[in-house]
């Protein structure tokens, strides 16, 4: 279909046709990013690549926001009426890719295993279409390309502190994320609380090591650790309100003794996930008192640090309902779903505590082709036809939010 034929189509059809026409270019961008991943706070080359893409689109932007962050605007008619922000992240993970694909990561031990390459490519495709349609919508689109989503304190926090939500201040913000639990072409939304606050726990139990055959002459930090790990689960089962979502998990224990050696200390690393900020602070205090109390009762000591991470992510009910209905208009009722709550974390949450927000998911699986691996795994990949739908959907949702109905 020619550009002239596209021009006379209804807006929804026009967006779909433009997304299809740009699809291969967006796939190429995603593949380049996938092959050249960079870790959080080290995304210099990725940021430069994004700015080159923005130059081709022909939009104004500023770089170096909160690190390697990039932001800019596309102004439609009556640009002061409403401002909608669109966000994509672009850092990768410290994972060695195992996919046998032509665009496999060229950086050993680094991989786009959480789909940030797809998020960035999708937003670039969305901006290309919005820039071409800027005479067909009112208001201003503010775009945010954000680094360092995967590592505390989070690029969102740093960009906000550097003024990304000012000049102009958005009235609302949306972000989208790959979702391998849904087939390509499917979308998911959830109003209200959606993802958890995440905090990191670092504990060292200090005892007095010695010969394992003479435990009476030691203060065993392994035994202190065992008592603590059992007791800490009661913080959830006997302290948290059953309707107040809480997870406390430990994934790393280092106690470097031997078959006949009790070590001097044991180190633990874990996480706390919550959906309530007041309870979040309370469970931190309870965990400190529990760890110190158990250690002292058994003759040892405890060194404990809690790194407070991202807040819980809340989707504004009004904005999310509007987008949920608009998504059905664009792609059909059967392809739009309400999502379950997740105890995973996402630094988009920082935006959601500043302005009305919606963080939604687009399906990336293709079970028939074996594209089903989960996020943060070395075989994660996406069905690339999903990029056509993610670009078209974000464009459509943006224009619907800018409308005054």
pLDDT tens per residue across span 240-269: 998 899 999 999 999 999 999 999 999 999
| Annotation marks residue 5 as catalytic | no
pLDDT score, position 2:
57
Where does residue 332 fall: left (phi above 0), alpha (psi -120 to 50 degrees), or beta otherwise?
Answer: left
Question: How does residue 1 score in pLDDT terms, banded at 50, 70 and 90?
Answer: low
- CB 174, CB 360: distance < 8 Å: yes
pLDDT of 404: 72
Report residue 4's pLDDT band, with 50, 70 and 90 as the boundaries. Answer: low
pLDDT at 22 over 90: yes
Which residue in the list 38, 43, 117, 149 is annotated as catalytic?
149
Query: pTM of the entire structure?
Result: 0.94
Please state, rounded to an integer, the average pLDDT across all residues of the chain: 96
Mean pLDDT of 198-218: 98
pLDDT tens column, 145-186:
999 999 999 999 999 999 999 999 999 999 999 999 999 999
In the chain, the domains with their CATH numbers are 3-194+312-402 (3.40.630.10), 197-308 (3.30.70.360)
pLDDT at 337 over 60: yes
97-121, pLDDT tens digit by residue?
999 999 999 999 999 999 999 999 9
Label the pairing between strands 172-183 and 83-89. parallel
Q: What is the DSSP string of 321-350?
A: HHHHHHHHHHH-GGGEEEPPPB----TTHH
Confidence tier at 351 by pLDDT (50, 70, 90):
very high
Parallel, antiparallel or unpaired: strands 187-189 and 357-365: antiparallel
Q: Output the pLDDT for position 238.
A: 92
pLDDT of residue 9: 82
Q: How many helices (H) and strands (E) does the chain have?
A: 12, 16
Instruction: Supply the pLDDT for residue 6.
Output: 62
Cα–Cα separations (whole angstroms), residue 253 to 7, 231, 274, 280, 400: 61, 16, 22, 23, 50
Asked if residue 65 lies in contact with residue 164, where contact means CB atoms within 8 angstroms, the answer is yes
pLDDT surpasses 70 at 405: no
What is the rounded CA–CA span in Å between residue 98 and residue 379?
5
Res. 270 pLDDT band, cuts 50 70 90: very high
Active site residue 91: yes
User: Does residue 199 contact residue 288 with C-beta atoms inside 8 Å?
Assistant: no
pLDDT tens per residue, range 277-297: 999 999 999 999 999 999 999
Mean pLDDT of 365-380: 98
User: pLDDT tier at 3 (50, 70, 90 boundaries)?
Assistant: low
Of these residues, 38, 89, 91, 220, which one is catalytic? 91
d(CA 339, CA 76): 32
pLDDT band at 310 (very low <50, low <70, confident <90, very high): very high
pLDDT, mean of residues 12-17 = 97
**Residue 281, C-beta contacts closer than 8 angstroms, at least 6 positions apart:** none
């Amino acid at each position: 279909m020619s550009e002239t034929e596209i021009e006379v189509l209804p807006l929804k059809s026009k967006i779909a046709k433009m997304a299809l026409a740009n699809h291969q270019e967006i796939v190429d961008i995603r593949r380049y990013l996938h092959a050249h991943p960079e870790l959080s706070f080290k995304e210099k080359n990725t940021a430069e690549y994004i700015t080159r893409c923005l130059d081709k689109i022909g939009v104004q932007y500023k770089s170096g926001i909160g690190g390697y962050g990039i932001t800019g605007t596309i102004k439609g008619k009556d640009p002061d009426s409403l401002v909608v922000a669109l966000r994509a992240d672009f850092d990768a993970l410290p994972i060695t890719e195992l996919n046998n694909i032509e665009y496999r990561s060229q950086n050993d031990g680094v991989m786009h295993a959480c789909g940030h390459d797809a998020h960035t490519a999708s937003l670039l495709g969305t901006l290309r279409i919005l820039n071409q349609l800027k005479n067909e919508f009112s208001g201003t689109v503010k775009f945010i390309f954000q680094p360092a989503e995967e590592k505390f304190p989070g690029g969102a926090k740093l960009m906000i502190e550097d003024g990304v939500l000012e000049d102009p201040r958005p009235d609302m913000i949306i972000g989208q994320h790959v979702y391998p639990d849904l087939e390509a072409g499917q979308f998911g939304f959830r109003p209200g609380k959606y993802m958890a606050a995440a905090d990191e726990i670092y504990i060292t139990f200090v005892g007095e090591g010695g010969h394992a055959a003479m435990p009476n002459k030691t203060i065993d930090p392994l035994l202190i650790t065992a008592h603590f790990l059992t007791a800490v689960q009661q913080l959830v089962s006997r302290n948290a309100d059953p309707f107040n979502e809480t997870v406390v998990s430990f994934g790393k224990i280092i106690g470097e003794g031997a078959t006949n050696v009790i070590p001097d200390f044991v180190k633990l690393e874990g996480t706390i996930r919550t959906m309530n900020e007041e309870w979040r602070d309370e469970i931190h205090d309870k965990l400190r008192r529990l760890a110190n109390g158990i250690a002292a009762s058994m003759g040892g000591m405890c060194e404990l640090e809690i790194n407070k991470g991202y807040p819980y992510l809340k989707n504004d009910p009004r904005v999310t309902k509007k987008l949920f209905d608009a998504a059905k208009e664009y792609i059909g009722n059967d392809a739009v779903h309400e999502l379950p709550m997740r105890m995973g974390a996402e630094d988009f949450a920082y935006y959601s505590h500043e302005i009305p927000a919606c963080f939604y998911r687009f399906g990336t699986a293709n079970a028939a082709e074996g594209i089903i691996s989960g996020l943060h795994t070395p075989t994660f990949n996406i069905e690339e036809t999903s990029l056509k739908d993610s670009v078209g959907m974000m464009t459509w949702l943006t224009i619907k939010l800018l409308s005054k109905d």
